[in-house]
Structure 1
Amino acid sequence: MMRRSFLGFLTSLAFIGSADAEGEAEARKAASTAQLKKEGVPFMDHLPTIETAAESRRRTTDEVVKRAIALVIVAVKGETNDRNLVSNLISQFGAEGFFTPKEQAFVGNPVATGQDRANFSWRYEGAFVMLWALQFFEDLGRPDKPCDVSRMVSILRDLDTEGLLKRANLRPQSDLLDAADLIYRYNWAVVDARVNGKAAPAGLEQDVVVERHYALNWLIGYMGQEWDDISTDT
């Protein structure tokens, strides 16, 4: 039998790699769809697959820890509007450089609007996703109610930034992608219900779904977007 050319060999490897990636993405979609069926959440069969491990971005533990801290602090500002408390938290965690431009503007604004405060107070959900990704929480749970803020704040209160970095263990990329795929499909169900003038299905909490989708898209590097520009397409 004639041996294949080197070019043909490389072509076959590329095909195998492409097939493997497609299989990974489809398997992830199938697992998410099975979960939605189990919960009675509507889904769309032809909603696309998301990135594979090879296509996604792997955040560093340092990035994720700092993002968690920043999100808790802006959420505290949104909830309390207590500038002294926020200043103390920034000092405690050495968080001066952790904020995005939009977050920095909000933190430094003494007359933030009620709507801005409400929007940023939901960032607790993003912080919860980060701490789950770092394995401070075992399970994300269904997005049908707000996260346990008191438990999350307790974790941060007991550990400074250095302590969080020492304890953190960023989950495998496959776990982050599994969660991102599932929340993407939860969000489709929530958006579809809203467009059609219906309540969110199966007890899902719309704001929780959106915030977690936002955070997970950042974690996997969706479309190369950074935090202030993350989109939650469905």
Structure 2
Amino acid sequence: MENCTIYSHDVNMDKVLTVLQSHFDQSAIKVNGTAEQWESVVVTTGKKLWKPGQTLTLRYRQRTVPGYQLPPSGEAIAENLRGMYNYVAGIQAANTGLQELLLAKIATINTELTLIADPAFTAQHAAVIMQLAKEMDAFLFSGNNGVFKTETQGFWDQQGDLLLDTTGASTAATLTVNIASAYFDDHAAVNTPAPDATARKARSEAQLKAMEVKTNRFLPVVTNEATVVIRSAREIAERLVVLSAVNSVAFNHFSGAEITTYLQKNNLWELTTPKEKIFLEHPKEADKMRETWKCEGIWVLLWALKKLSAIGAMDALANLDMIAAEDYPFRGLEGNPAAYIAAAGDMRSSAEILDANDLYYRADWACVDARIKGTGIEVLHPGIVYERHYALNWLISYHEQPWDEVSCDT
């Protein structure tokens, strides 16, 4: 069995059937669904009484909202394309200009068309695949099969030339990136990076480079000051009280039952997340170990409320013992969290919080890249960076995700 994938900006799937019908008899083509909105197509050729024949199966998926950029959406195809973008950006390419064009092309993709051949692609299949790529103004991703003879997986253009493989090699000269005018007209103003976001990215990259940390210049900007929704001081204080109370169980200062009673008595149970409630009900040792890492989130939220002058080094664990008693949100079972929450007012500016978020976003990418390559970064601790990035994403209302569901896309 062999497969390859076609990636296109085009969302018109009628042309796929038109191309198939130009190469195969209608009797060989079985369409699952309507011609206008089919789910899969199976083409069977060479079938005889004693021979099952060759099959070519086509399936596709598309972005719900077509466009020409890849903002985080949580949609499976969009997240796959974002992962592809970061993967390509991380390849040490011999032709960096062509790599940049491929990255620009990936951002425009709306349709992923997968083709599976059983037992293998034939010459006729190859002709169909290359015609589809041309008709759909697409590029292809494939490994060694009947269409592309190669030792490694790679990206190929409509002429069958190599755009980029996993070793960074290319044979293609250039790549055309087309954007449908309708998408451009509708979305250009919305998707043009704001000047403050662009400047912020440049500052973060410069800071990381000064630390001798690898940066990825293809990572997009983060939300800008005009559109970001920063959590309120009260919301931060409430989250701090719950986090620090639950964290006390992780360090065996109190039992899960004692903290549950404390949170219920102080009308904070509704602000306790589903995962925190499960932990408090059965605080297993392995879960306690994971929960201790929330110190880094507490640290960041205290910084956001100006209880700390700086977040500090990215390889230095948070030291909550240095926080003044009056500034710490959980003061034992007899403490008054309502007073702490009511007193919360002064907090960091949107610019300060976005600066930190942008920096930790890019540092988190460096940690992931190092982990994939089996290397380390002396000045970054992956666990510290991830937990702080998590809290910062919550602070900027990333995807409007609640605390339990915050994602740290890199």
Q: TM-score, normalised by structure 2?
A: 0.49
- Aligned residue for 2:397? 221
Instruction: Map Cα deviations across residues 1-26 of structure 1 (whole Å, 9 max, x no partner).
Output: xxxxxxxxxx9xx95x976x521111
Distance 2:239 2:195 in 1: 32
The within-5 A match list for 1:65-84 is 65-80=237-252, 82-83=255-256
Distance in 2 between residues matched to 1:114 and 1:161, nearest whole Å: 30
Aligned to 1:4: none
Partners of 2:263 and 2:319 in 1: CA distance: 22
Q: Confirm whether residue 99 of structure 1 aligns to residue 272 of structure 2.
A: yes
Deviation for aligned residue 1:58 = 2.1
- Residues 61, 165 of structure 1: 8 Å contact kept: no
Give the aligned residue type for 2:365: W
- From the two aligned structures, give the one with the greater helix fraction: 1
Contact 1:77 1:121 in 2 (8 A): no
Secondary structure at the aligned position of 2:270 is classed as coil
Offset of 1:71 from its aligned partner? 1.3
Please name the residue that 1:173 is paired with.
350
1: CA distance, partners of 2:336 / 2:308: 15
Deviation at 1:168, TM superposition (A): 4.0
Amino acid of the structure 2 residue aligned with 1:35: Q
Q: Which residue of structure 1 lines up, in the alignment, with residue 362 of structure 2?
A: 185
Ranked by relative contact order (alpha carbons within 8 Å, sequence separation 6 or more), the top structure is 1
Q: Does 1:114 align with 2:285?
A: yes
Distance in 1 between the 2:277 and 2:362 partners? 32
Structure 2: how far apart are the matches of 1:152 and 1:98?
A: 24
2:204 partner amino acid: S
Where does structure 1 differ by over 4 angstroms across 4 or more consecutive aligned residues? 91-94
1:196 is aligned to 2:196: no
Deviation at 1:106, TM superposition (A): 1.1
Equivalent residue for 1:22? 194
CA RMSD of aligned residues (A): 2.5
Partner AA of 1:41 in structure 2:
V
Matched, 1:140 2:316: no
Point out where structure 1 has 5 or more consecutive residues left out of the alignment.
Answer: 1-10
Partner deviation per Cα, 1:131-178 (whole Å, 9 max, x = no partner): 100001110112212111212473333874413532541211111111
* TM-score, normalised via structure 1 length: 0.83
Gaps of 5+ in 2: 1-184
Which residue in the other structure is 2:212 paired with? 40
Alignment-derived partner of residue 144 in structure 2: none
Percent identity between the two aligned chains:
33
Contact 1:77-1:86 within 8 A present in 2 as well: yes
Cα distance in 2 for residues equivalent to 1:122 and 1:153? 20
Kindly indicate whether the alpha-carbon contact (under 8 Å) linking 1:125 and 1:211 is maintained by their aligned counterparts in 2.
yes
